[in-house]
Amino acid sequence: MSTAIVVPRRRIAMPLVLAGLTLVVYCSALNRSQPLIWGVAAVLSASLVIGFAWPHWLVSRLTVRRSGPDKAAEGKVITLDVTVENRGWLPRFMVEVVDRLPFVGAGKGRAPENVSLGLIGYIPSLDQRGFQVNLICEKRGLYQLGPVGLSTSFPLGLSEARRGKREGLSTLIVYPEIFPIAAWPLQGSPSLIHRGGHFLPNGAGSAEFRSLRDYRRGDNPRHVHWPTSARLSQLMVKEYEPLASPCLYLVLDLAADANVGQGKHATLEYAVKIAASLARLACDNSMPVRLAGQGKQAINIKAGQGEAHFGEILERLAVVDADGDTPYRVMLDKAAGDCLIGETVVVFLAEPSERAVDTLQSLALLRSRGAHLLAVCFERPSFLAAGGGATLTESALFAGLLDLGAQVVTVRRGDDLMRLFNP
């Protein structure tokens, strides 16, 4: 087993120094008739030829294969199998396997670089050597891996020869990290809708009488209609129209200026983790959940439940990016137009403060349509490198959310999301 490291690719100084020294020695030999100086010049010239020619011979007649999973989870370790085959009649020495793996360093926001997977010291003729390398999937996303190639600067390190074709091209999708949520109390406390196991907002009891039906095991005794039960000599229970819908509506803000921070510590990355974890909770409890957002491409996953539906949401969350220019209020107005009465709408607030008034108006529209609000508010200054500025708890947006009766969860850079969402 080995661990990949990112290595620089600049080897210029040493060849220039040796070439200059060789030139100086030849000039000295021309002015003197001493055989020793000519011998030193010949040795230096041979070193230059060997240093530049031998590395190219070493990587010739070699092929490399890299295989590994095409799906992984953020924060997990994957194992890549690397095999280098020597098709030549002579052995090869000190060959390095170099690959392009964009997910390495993505957690820190670094640009993709070539990664050294490992160094093979000896490959016999007409044989192969292999090894495994463990890598951490630092950040969710869809990554194009490869091409994988070979390089060496053996024996003198004067030049580096590389052999790289379109080999090892593949894709890797890294799904967002999911943290466990035991039972998030929507609007304060969970409630059960009759015999279903759905979490409902607080106060989502029965409001309007609908019909009578036979008593079933597990029904609430308080719903028994005693006059009818006495008249029919069997237990009858009342059914009601619920005030709340057991449905979760996740609305992402995919505007570019609403995403602050770098790498895995960006507001969008936190929002994606929270959305994925809430979707997991909903599907585990047979609660319909849907997802919406507007970047360069629109996201509109209709309400559903079950593992297949959760897989669809997870696929979209893995590749979503803050690349849009649509203000968040537009998405919220759209959500207000198709939300259900009593539905819990989860909003992610990280946009610039100058749009807070418009956003509050859209949130008020959602409340007027009978939706419950769960607001995940990101403190932008904590995600910015420079820091500073007013905190979210001091802003007019926070006060407006409290006036609307929304549940508010404040998220700062580095917060333990599992602790925040398991009160």
Per-residue pLDDT 10s for the chain (423 aa) are 444 444 444 456 666 666 677 677 667 767 776 777 767 777 777 777 777 788 888 889 999 999 999 999 999 999 999 999 999 999 999 999 999 999 998 988 887 788 899 999 999 999 999 999 999 999 999 999 999 999 988 887 767 788 877 778 899 999 999 999 987 665 433 333 433 444 444 444 444 566 788 988 878 888 888 888 888 888 988 876 555 556 899 999 999 999 999 999 999 999 999 999 999 999 988 889 999 999 999 999 999 999 999 999 999 999 999 999 999 999 999 999 998 877 899 999 999 988 888 999 999 999 998 888 999 999 998 998 644 444 444 467 888 998 998 999 999 999 999 999 987
State the span(s) of the chain assigned CATH 3.40.50.410. 248-420
State the span(s) of the chain assigned CATH 2.60.40.10. 1-175
Q: At what angle do helices 267-284 and 307-319 cross, to 10 degrees?
A: 180
Q: Are 207 and 243 in contact (CB under 8 A)?
A: yes
Contacts 24+ apart (CB under 8 A), 220-229: 220/194, 223/194
Third-level CATH fold of 1-175: Immunoglobulin-like (2.60.40)
Distances (CA, A) of 332 to 17, 254, 293, 359, 371: 65, 12, 10, 8, 11
d(CA 192, CA 213): 18
Which of 378, 107, 389 is closest to 267 using CA atoms? 378
Amino acid at 91: P
Instruction: Name residue 373's beta-bridge partners.
Output: 345
Give the CATH superfamily of 248-420: von Willebrand factor, type A domain (3.40.50.410)
Residues 6+ apart with CB under 8 A from 132: 1, 2, 79, 80, 81, 82
Which of 311, 406, 395, 305 is closest to 357 using CA atoms? 395
